[in-house]
Structure 1
C-alpha cells in the first residue's frame, strides 16, 4: 500500500468509527432498522444497538488494518468488503443510477443525433429520421408530450428529494465499499502477471462474460416495455396505464437497453476507438479508464444491491425478482467483463 492508500483508509476508518459511535449512542440518528423506508436491504433488519457496535468495530479494525502486514491486510480487507458490501448495503444505489440513466439517456441520444446532422454525417440523417418517427408515434399514442415529460421530471425530482437523506447514507456506504475495493486490489496484487491475465486469454474468457453481462439488463427492459401495452407485467398494475406511467416505463427500458449496448462495447471495435457517429471524439482512441470506471461503478452498484434484493425476495416470497433483476449474476459478470477489457487494453499488445 502507498502512503496515500493508508491515509485515505485511515481517514475513512476514523469517520466510520465516529458514525458508529453516533448510531450506538443516539438511536434517533440511526437511519436503518425497522423504521427504514428502504426494505430492499439487510440493514433494515438490524437495529442501532447491534449496528452501532458493529460499525465502531469495523472502523477501529480498518484503522489497524491500513498499517498491518499484507497477509493480515488481505484477510481484513475481505471482512471490510463483506461488512460494507453485504451488511450495510441496499438497492438504493442501483435504483438511483437507473433513474438517472433513464433521464439523461434520451437527452444524450438527441444530442448525438443533432450534432451528427450538423456535421452532415449519414448516420445523423438516419438517426434523425428514426428519432422523428419515434416522436410522432409517441405523440399519436399519447406517450410523448411536453406536459408528460415535465410531469415525469417533476415526479423524479420529488422522489429524489423525498429520499435525499436515506440516499446520502447509501452513497456514503458505496464510497466506503469502493475504498476497500481499491485497498483489496492493492493488497492482493490483482492484475499481476499470470496466464489468465494475458491479453489473448482475457480476450477469450472476456467475450463470454461480456455477452452474459449484456444479457442481464434485458429482462427488466422487456418488463418495462410491457407498460406500453394494455397488459403490463406487474401485479400492482392492471389494465391500460396512464400516459405518464407509460412514459416512465419507456425511459427506464431505454436505460436498460443502453446498458446492454454499452456492455457489448467492451468486446467491440467501437469500445476501443470512438466510432464516426460520436461527435467531437470520432476516430480517437477510447481512454481505457472511461469504460473501466463507468463499468466498474455499475458492477459495484449491482454487487451492493444484491444482498438486499435476495433478502427482500426471500421475505416477500417473490424469488422471481432475482430473474427480473439478476444483480448477483450481473455484478459478477460485469466486473469480470470490465477486468478483461482492462487487461486487454492496458497491455502493450492491444488486440484489434
Structure 2
C-alpha cells in the first residue's frame, strides 16, 4: 500500500474520531436517530449515545490499523467498510444520485445536440430544429414549457435545501466508505489471480451479470412513468398531478432507462469505442477508467442504499419495495459487470491475450 493511501486513511480516521466525539458529547449535532426525517436507514434506529462512541471506535481502529502489517490492514478495512457501508448508510444517497441524474441528464443531451449541430451532424441539426419548433409552439399556444421547467427545478431546489444538512452527512459517509474501499482493494491486491477472473472467464459471467444489472432499474422507470397516466402510483394527490410533477416522473424514468442502456455498454462495441454520434471523440477508444469509475460509483451507491431499504421494507411489512428498488441485487450485479469489463479491457489494452473472448460485437 502506498504512503499516500495510508496518509489519506489516517486523515479520514482522525476526522471520523472528531465527528464521533462531537455526536457523543453534543446531542443537538447528531443528524440521525428517531427525529431523523430519512427513515430508510439503520441510523434512525440509533441515538447519539450509541452511534457517537461507536464512531469514535471506528476512527481509533482506523488509525491503529492503517499503518499496520498487511493482514491487520485487510481485517481493519473490512470492518470499516461494514461500519460505513451498513451501519451509517442510508438510501438518501440514491435519491441524491437519481435527482442529480434527472437534472444533469437532459442538460448533457442538450449539450451533445448543440455540439453535434455545430459540427454539421444531421441528428444535431434535427434536434435543434425540433427544439425551435417546440419553442415556437410553446409561445403560440401559451403552454408555458419554460415556466414548467422552472417550477420543476424550484421543487428540486426546495427539497435539497430542506434536506441539505442531512444529505451532507450522507455524502460524507459515502466518501468515507469509498476511501476504505480503495484501501481494501489495495490491501487485498496480492498473489496470483484465480482462474475465474481471467479475461476469457470474465467474458462469460460478465455478460450474464451485465444483462441482469440492466434489467434492475426498469421496474422503477415503469413506476415513475405512471405519473404520466391518470393512475399515478405513490401519490397522495386527490386530483390530477400537476404538470411539473409529471415532468419530474418523466425525468426520473428517463434517468433509470438511461442507466439501463449505459449498463449494456459494458458488453457492447460502443462501450469500448465512442459511436459516430458522439461529438469530438467519436471513433476513439473509450478510456477504461470512465465506465469503470462511473459504473463502480453507481454499484457502490446501490450497495449503500441497500441496508436501509431492507430494514425499512421489513419494518413496514412491504417486501414489494425490494422488487421495485432491487438495490442489493442491482449493486452486486453491476459491480460484477464492471469488474468483468475492466478485466477484458485491461487484457485487450495489454495486447497479449489474443482476440476478445466475448465475441466480435465488443471488440475495440
- After TM superposition, the runs of 4+ consecutive aligned structure 1 residues lying more than 4 A away are 125-144
Asked if 2 retains the 8 angstrom alpha-carbon contact of 1:191 and 1:343, the reply is no
In 2, Cα distance between equivalents of 1:252 and 1:138: 23
Q: How many residues align?
A: 352
Question: Which stretch shifts more, 225-234 or 123-132?
Answer: 123-132
Give the structure-2-normalised TM-score: 0.90
Q: How many Å apart are 1:128 and its aligned residue?
A: 5.8
In 1, Cα distance between equivalents of 2:302 and 2:191: 22
Residue 208 (str. 1) matches residue 213 (str. 2)? no
Aligned to 2:360: none
Aligned to 1:254: 254
Residue 188 (str. 1) matches residue 188 (str. 2)? yes
SS at match of 1:58: helix
Asked if 2 retains the 8 angstrom alpha-carbon contact of 1:219 and 1:324, the reply is yes
Residue 198 (str. 1) matches residue 195 (str. 2)? no
Asked if 2 retains the 8 angstrom alpha-carbon contact of 1:232 and 1:238, the reply is no
SS at match of 2:276: coil
In 2, Cα distance between equivalents of 1:167 and 1:251: 21
Classify 1:192/1:145 alpha carbon distance in 2 versus 1 (closer, same or farther; 3 Å). farther
Aligned to 2:244: 244
Aligned residue runs from structure 1 range 1-352, under 5 A? 1-124=1-124, 145-189=145-189, 193-234=193-234, 236-237=236-237, 240-347=240-347, 348-349=350-351, 351=356, 352=363
Q: How many Å apart are 1:107 and its aligned residue?
A: 1.5
In 2, Cα distance between equivalents of 1:139 and 1:84: 51
Gaps of 5+ in 1: none
Asked if 2 retains the 8 angstrom alpha-carbon contact of 1:229 and 1:240, the reply is no
Gaps of 5+ in 2: 357-362
SS at match of 1:280: coil
In 2, Cα distance between equivalents of 1:105 and 1:236: 27
Give the structure-1-normalised TM-score: 0.93
Asked if 2 retains the 8 angstrom alpha-carbon contact of 1:143 and 1:243, the reply is no
SS at match of 1:34: coil
